[in-house]
Structure 1
Amino acid sequence: MKTAVVILNWNGKALLEQFLPSVVEHSPEATIYVADNASTDDSVSFLQKAFPQVRIIQNQVNGGFAKGYNEALAGLKEDIFVLLNSDVEVTPGWLPPLLDEMKNGKVAAVQPKILNYRKKDHFEYAGAAGGFIDALGYPYCRGRIFDTLEKDLGQYDENHEVFWASGACMMVRRIDFMKAGGFDEDFFAHQEEIDLCWRFFNMNRKVKAVGGSRVYHLGGGTLNSMHPRKTFLNFRNSLFVLLKNAPKKQLFLLIFFRLILDGLAGIKFIFELKPSHTAAILKAHGNFYLQFRKMLKKRNNLQKSTKYYHKTSVVWAYYLRGNRTFEKL
């Protein structure tokens, strides 16, 4: 299987300088591309001089993660795409275990264990050891529940079917990516991989986490986790995911409960003296209502009525029952 590692870049020369050498060194099985999202720094000239073996795709505008990858991947012919954040350090032999799992024709996407670059014996927030959602669509991972990050003790070393793979490091089959329609560009960034993987689920395709492969993710390379813009995107896009993919019979009840819980999250931010994040939630809901009809039209007839969630409420388990790790949910 011909493989492309595609790194999306936007004004990230420093990250490329720090992390791209590991990708070049440890990815002999793949052709490496950097898709530049109309950077205004000297990223492209730096790449041309320092990494002539890396192929450059130049997008005309910064359309965020979703549009950037859609445009970059549209012109590639490899069978397998690896979408890799620019702030990820890969390790020797990281690709073969992922490619071995993709030999299973039922698998659309896989991810490695994603560990914390700053604290390498712990999982990282964005994907950890594979993602799930609860009945209300809240995402969480093996190794990461909300802000609690587990130490990697080998507890998730086995290959395991999951609901979603992290966009920080996702290997996806080209034919499945294209058949599903790629990323939804209205998301701009954040949770578009959950939306894509839910579409894979509704297409009867599988997503796996591969414990024999590991990478280290810095996180917050383009948008810090405490930035209100990130809060806005996460809350709005989470509602988009439900509206597009949830079973029809449960859809509006799910959204009603999410509105209540998002309101409680806004109150929590006020008590934490983070009013800008409360404002971001209000803005997220306003934008969701404005785009409600548009996103509703994106539903198709593939929504499965079968159980899509791992637990009924991760919010209840985490905040009220005190279960802080995946195995205790």
Structure 2
Amino acid sequence: MQLSHNSNEYIWYMNVHVIISTHNGAYWIEKCINSVLNSSIDVHINIIDNVSTDQTVDLIQSKFPEVYLVRNEIDMGFAKSNNILLRKAIEEGADYVFLLNQDAWVEKDTIEGLIKILLQNNQYGIVSPVHINGAGTALDFNFSTYCRENRCPGFLSDLYLKKIKEVYDLYFVNAALWLVSRECLLRIGLFDPMFTVYGEDVDYTNRSRAKGFKIGLAPYLRGYHDREKRPPSVKHNRLIAIIRQICILKDLNRNFYKELFTYTVNFIKNLFMYLIRGKFDSLGAELKGGGHIFSSLKKIRRARRICRKDGAYIQICSNNKKSIKQLADMEIN
């Protein structure tokens, strides 16, 4: 990457917060934290634990006393947990926030390199490195699907022809390794707490695009995500289908009523198809999924209204009068 002398000096004054949400992450957490501590720039490491029952908390407290740790009394999930520390980062003047999964880690220059890219390309709100699998032998499987031509134009061709640029427009990348600028965070706000499992990062990238921010892939930089590819269960696929549809209905880049009409028509067609073919298990699952989506419409419309405004869900406490525990209580309630 071609970097100016001034940008190299300026980066040392950046206030960078790394945020990690943990739950039974003892297997990875030392490698995760050590990789951040070994970064080429100084960062503030903030961890929020969701009632781990393994050695995660003990390892953090005994081996990494410099880490800021919040212990939840209940499992709040990814979105709400991260929101607590995102608010903290905003209140403490963070210039950039790096979201890192407990089962992920970075190379020495990853975070610094991502910051340099955002400094020189301020049209991007989120930028991510290439996601390698835990063994370091291949791309993370899910990440490889994000790099298709219709999702990341030009990247595969440039990779083959060896004319790679420093950053590419990316339609979506999961939040395992995200650098988010302060400007993006203040405009977009926090994760939508309506997402309890999956979907919050899809929703956040949709909201970012709606407010004019690009999502970037930094091909010269690496992060590692140690999640084994497992055959998804039928139950998991049905859950993902429901969440995907909620993300579509909530997407500010789409017309809510048009998408609702399309979904309703397809829903009725599927019911008749399963009924005629005698697939009663699928019929029941379709009814259950449709019931969840239709019962969520009021919540989805409300969330769309909230997310049209800048700084959705931030609710910064004036003069820092509320503690992190009180912020956690706000999320729970």
Q: Report the Cα distance in structure 2 between the residues aligned to 1:61 and 1:156, rounded to whole angstroms.
A: 49
Superposed displacement of residue 116, structure 1: 1.5
> Matches of residues 101-112 of structure 1 in structure 2 within 5 Å?
101-103=117-119, 104-112=121-129
Superposed displacement of residue 81, structure 1: 0.8
Superposed displacement of residue 232, structure 1: 4.2
Superposed displacement of residue 166, structure 1: 1.7
Q: Report the Cα distance in structure 2 between the residues aligned to 1:262 and 1:132, rounded to whole angstroms.
A: 29
1:242 is matched with which residue: 239, 248, 258? 248
* Cα gap change, 1:165 to 1:27, in 2 (>3 Å): farther
TM-score (norm 2): 0.71
Contact 1:189/1:233 (<8 A) preserved: no
**Structure (1 or 2) with the greater helix fraction:** 2
Tell me what 2:113 maps to: 97
Superposed displacement of residue 279, structure 1: 7.2
Question: What SS class does the counterpart of residue 81 from structure 2 fall into?
Answer: helix
The answer to whether 1:46 aligns with 2:59 is yes
Q: Report the Cα distance in structure 2 between the residues aligned to 1:154 and 1:91, rounded to whole angstroms.
A: 25
The answer to whether 1:63 aligns with 2:110 is no
Superposed displacement of residue 80, structure 1: 0.8
Q: Report the Cα distance in structure 1 between the residues aligned to 2:195 and 2:117, rounded to whole angstroms.
A: 29
* Cα gap change, 1:184 to 1:281, in 2 (>3 Å): farther
Tell me what 2:219 maps to: 211
* Cα gap change, 1:25 to 1:262, in 2 (>3 Å): farther
Tell me what 1:312 maps to: none
One-letter amino acid of the structure 2 residue matched with residue 125 of structure 1: F
1:19 is matched with which residue: 32, 35, 42? 32
Stretches of structure 1 that go unaligned for 5 or more consecutive residues are 135-139, 144-151, 304-329
Q: Report the Cα distance in structure 2 between the residues aligned to 1:262 and 1:219, rounded to whole angstroms.
A: 33
Q: Report the Cα distance in structure 2 between the residues aligned to 1:190 and 1:289, rounded to whole angstroms.
A: 19
Tell me what 2:315 maps to: none
Question: What SS class does the counterpart of residue 206 from structure 2 fall into?
Answer: helix
Q: Report the Cα distance in structure 2 between the residues aligned to 1:194 and 1:69, rounded to whole angstroms.
A: 15
Question: What SS class does the counterpart of residue 177 from structure 1 fall into?
Answer: helix
The CA deviation string for residues 158-199 of structure 1, in whole angstroms up to 9 with x for no partner, is: 310122232111111234224323111121121211111111
Q: Report the Cα distance in structure 2 between the residues aligned to 1:226 and 1:91, rounded to whole angstroms.
A: 30
2:46 is matched with which residue: 33, 43, 47? 33
> Matches of residues 307-322 of structure 1 in structure 2 within 5 Å?
none
Tell me what 1:199 maps to: 207
Q: State which structure, 1 or 2, has the greater radius of gyration over its C-alpha atoms.
A: 2
Q: Report the Cα distance in structure 1 between the residues aligned to 2:206 and 2:300, rounded to whole angstroms.
A: 15
The CA deviation string for residues 84-138 of structure 1, in whole angstroms up to 9 with x for no partner, is: 11111322211122101211332211111011223x342213434856898xxxx
Q: Report the Cα distance in structure 2 between the residues aligned to 1:25 and 1:280, rounded to whole angstroms.
A: 48
Superposed displacement of residue 217, structure 1: 0.9
* Cα gap change, 1:284 to 1:229, in 2 (>3 Å): same
Tell me what 1:149 maps to: none
Stretches of structure 2 that go unaligned for 5 or more consecutive residues are 1-13, 309-333
* Cα gap change, 1:88 to 1:209, in 2 (>3 Å): same
One-letter amino acid of the structure 2 residue matched with residue 61 of structure 1: I
Tell me what 2:311 maps to: none
The CA deviation string for residues 24-49 of structure 1, in whole angstroms up to 9 with x for no partner, is: 22353322222212323342222110
Tell me what 1:293 maps to: 298
Question: What SS class does the counterpart of residue 74 from structure 1 fall into?
Answer: helix
Q: Report the Cα distance in structure 2 between the residues aligned to 1:278 and 1:36, rounded to whole angstroms.
A: 39
* Cα gap change, 1:295 to 1:174, in 2 (>3 Å): same
* Cα gap change, 1:60 to 1:216, in 2 (>3 Å): same
Tell me what 2:143 maps to: 127
Contact 2:41/2:112 (<8 A) preserved: no
The CA deviation string for residues 190-210 of structure 1, in whole angstroms up to 9 with x for no partner, is: 121111111111111121111
* Cα gap change, 1:56 to 1:293, in 2 (>3 Å): same
Contact 2:153/2:169 (<8 A) preserved: no
Q: Report the Cα distance in structure 1 between the residues aligned to 2:130 and 2:245, rounded to whole angstroms.
A: 27
Question: What SS class does the counterpart of residue 163 from structure 1 fall into?
Answer: coil
Tell me what 1:188 maps to: 196
* Cα gap change, 1:94 to 1:302, in 2 (>3 Å): closer
Q: Report the Cα distance in structure 2 between the residues aligned to 1:62 and 1:289, rounded to whole angstroms.
A: 26
> How much is the aligned-residue C-alpha RMSD, in angstroms?
3.8
Superposed displacement of residue 225, structure 1: 6.0
Is the deviation greater in 228-237 or in 198-207?
228-237
Q: Report the Cα distance in structure 1 between the residues aligned to 2:227 and 2:249, rounded to whole angstroms.
A: 28
One-letter amino acid of the structure 2 residue matched with residue 287 of structure 1: H
Contact 2:152/2:168 (<8 A) preserved: no
Tell me what 2:321 maps to: none
